[in-house]
Amino acid sequence: MRVLIAEQAFAAYTALLETKAPGLNVFTSDDSAELSRMASDCPVWLGQPDLLASLLRQGHRPQWVQSTWAGITPLLALGLPRDYRLTRAVGIFGQVMAEYVLTYVLGHERKVMTRVVSQVERQWDSRPAASVAGRKALIVGVGDIGRSVAHCLSVLGIEVYGIATAPRDLPPFKEVAALDALPRLVGEVDYVINLLPDTWPTRDLFDAKVFAAFKPEGLFINIGRGSSVVDADLVQALREGHLAGAVIDVCRQEPLPRQHPFWTAWGLLLTGHTAGPTSPPLMADLFLENLTAFEAGQAMRGVVDFDRGY
């Protein structure tokens, strides 16, 4: 099998595949023109969606594409072909995303950011901290990452609630409701964690109306997609005290423009799209598992429905 790797970390993936599957014919380059020449002869592609989308625009047609990202938005752009099988990275981000959420939930309760400010101002900050035990969290998007986050939080005594396309019973969630329940549930929980993909129904979901329904002590964490949030509405809601803080890992435009109000919004922390770094060893294992299924004509993990967008 001839496999094209289009990835910034192409050297790491090449070494892993040569070790784990020495029979593969792997082609890759850091030169875009050379990569394009190789693409026409490779039926299977592995890589990051922005580079893969560029190859599709040039007229190359793979049989199957394995994304190294959980999100595949660049491959859904208008005008790009959809006559191939596309799988996204699944099952490899749960641990690191759960660690990210836990970091900032604990930091919120322990008042880490305000204590840093107190130290800079040489003010002795002896305000008591709170425990997460008995708190409630709403996870908006209950896929494999959402379930990993839910299990991590529930171990610490946090009650977890979820939002999905339709209501369902799904342990350890106390309740999984449909999208129309979002305004109700954000007012009943202490932490709201967005994990939704970038689709038309999820764009601009977190707007002024939703933020106004938050608890004043609430924390909003966005590790889904920036398109889910109306930026100006979040900044205004923080200013007016509708919620206590926000941790934003993903933005509509990245890197964030220097003039964007997120940079100076009080109570908002930017983390530069670092919540879920891809592990090349885990990604290589997923790719090889899917490659075996692809060659056998069997079901693969993470198959994308182009109409749904995920």
Please check whether residue 51 is in contact with residue 60, taking contact to mean a CB–CB distance below 8 angstroms: no
Question: CB-based contacts of 274: which residues, under 8 Å, 6+ apart?
Answer: 100, 249
Question: CB-based contacts of 208: which residues, under 8 Å, 6+ apart?
Answer: 230, 233, 236, 237
Q: Which two tokens stand for residue 235?
A: 């900044």
First to last CA, the chain: 26
- 166 exposure class (CB count in 10 Å sphere: 0-12, 13-18, 19+): exposed
b vs e for 254-278, b when ≥16 Cβ sit within 10 Å of the residue's Cβ?
Answer: eebeeebebeebebbbbbebebbeb
**Any idea which residues carry the catalytic annotation?**
225, 273
Helix (H, G, I), strand (E, B) or coil at 11: helix
The residue with tokens 């977190």 is 206
How far CA 227 is from CA of 72, 201, 222, 250, 264, in Å, comes to 14, 11, 10, 9, 20
